[in-house]
């Protein structure tokens, strides 16, 4: 009995290891194909523009509300601490640093992971279970180029723009709170907010946004392309796209912050 159990355990362990490496190989091939298609014309510019519009419109209302509230709440919560040291004049600089260095890229990415990631995962998952992707493959219309490349590229293009938009909306919310309490002029607020922001901060935020956008688009497309088990799998693909993208975003945030810290 013990020998049979040991053999069974070894079998399942071997099967699990094989499954892991097979899955990793498929994932790597799926991601690597994007960079191959990046240098292989023709490009679906019309579809890319359409997906850029969808990515922006799907996320804009929630990003506007979230960014505005973050600016107000963060300013309101920071004021008492600075008041204890008589340094409320540093409030715009604090908000500017917090928003551009950390809050704007991360909040934008998390919102887009929820809105855009779930949408792409569900859309491609539905196409997969209804065999539309196989039909495109049979008709030689290159489904990867048309479905994956366009959506990932749209996420990469739109994420920095949405991040900058979130930053300015958050600063607007912060200014309203500062102007109400300290009666600071807009020119003074802007000057102080951008006083401690340098080119490295802006470049790091844009790099974060590009990496986050690529991650969201690629994860959502992969989960949609590998959907199984009918309509039940579509819901699981959408959920997995959001959860996996968020996990990777936090890991990438930590890595990028560490790398940028080496250059400061």
Residues 160-213: pLDDT tens digits? 999 999 999 999 999 999 888 888 888 888 888 888 888 888 899 999 999 999
Q: What's the number of domains the chain is made of? A: 2
Residue-wise pLDDT tens digits, 127-140:
888 888 888 877 76
Residue 232 pLDDT level (bands cut at 50, 70, 90): confident
Is there a single domain that holds both residue 7 and residue 54?
Answer: no
Show the DSSP H helices in 85-149 as ranges: 91-98, 104-112, 118-129, 132-138, 143
Which domain does 11 fall in, by range? 1-33
The verdict on 67 and 26 lying in the same domain is: no
In a domain, 39, yes or no: no
Confidence band (pLDDT; 50, 70, 90) for 10? low
Domain identity same for 82 and 5 = no
E-assigned strands of 69-129? none
Q: How far apart are CA 83 and CA 81, in angstroms?
A: 5
Examine the domain organization and report whether 78 and 152 are in the same domain. Answer: yes
**The predicted structure's pLDDT at residue 27:** 84
pLDDT of residue 1: 47
For residue 221, pLDDT over 70 is answered with yes
Same domain, 215 and 111: yes
CA distances from 210 to 6, 32, 79 (A): 48, 17, 32
41: in domain: no
Pair (27, 53) in one structural domain: no
- Distance of alpha carbon 148 from alpha carbon 83, whole angstroms: 51
* Per-residue confidence (pLDDT) for residue 141, from 0 to 100: 77
Residues 159, 29 share a domain: no
| Pairwise CA distance, residues 138 & 177, whole Å | 58
Q: Are residues 110 and 15 in the same domain?
A: no
Whole-model pTM: value is: 0.90
* Position 195 in a domain: yes
Cβ–Cβ contacts within 10 Å for residue 69, how many? 13
pLDDT (average), residues 109-137: 89
Residue 42 CA to residue 19 CA, distance in Å, equals 35
pLDDT in tens, 146-161: 999 999 999 999 999 9
Which has more pLDDT, 12 or 186?
186
């Amino acid at each position: 009995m013990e020998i049979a159990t040991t053999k069974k355990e070894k079998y399942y362990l071997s099967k699990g290891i094989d499954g892991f490496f097979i899955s990793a190989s498929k994932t790597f091939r799926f991601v690597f194909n994007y960079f191959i298609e990046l240098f292989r014309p023709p490009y679906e510019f019309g579809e890319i523009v359409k997906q850029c519009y969808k990515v922006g419109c799907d996320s804009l209302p929630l990003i506007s509300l979230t960014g505005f509230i973050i600016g107000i709440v963060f300013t309101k919560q920071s004021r008492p601490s600075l008041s204890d040291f008589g340094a409320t004049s540093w409030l715009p600089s604090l908000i500017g640093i917090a928003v551009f260095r950390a809050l704007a890229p991360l909040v934008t990415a998390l919102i887009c992971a929820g809105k855009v990631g779930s949408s792409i995962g569900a859309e491609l998952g539905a196409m997969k279970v209804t065999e539309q992707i196989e039909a495109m493959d049979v008709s030689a219309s290159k489904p990867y180029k048309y479905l994956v490349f366009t959506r990932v590229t749209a996420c990469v293009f739109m994420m920095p723009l949405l991040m900058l938009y979130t930053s300015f909306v958050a600063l607007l919310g912060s200014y309203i709170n500062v102007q109400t309490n300290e009666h600071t002029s807009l020119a003074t607020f802007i000057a102080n907010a951008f006083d401690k922001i340098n080119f490295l901060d802006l470049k790091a935020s844009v790099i974060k946004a590009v990496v986050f956008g690529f991650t969201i688009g690629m994860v959502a497309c992969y989960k949609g392309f590998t959907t199984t088990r009918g309509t039940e799998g579509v819901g699981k693909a959408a959920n997995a796209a959001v959860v996996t993208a968020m996990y990777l975003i936090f890991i990438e945030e930590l890595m990028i912050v560490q790398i940028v810290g080496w250059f400061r």
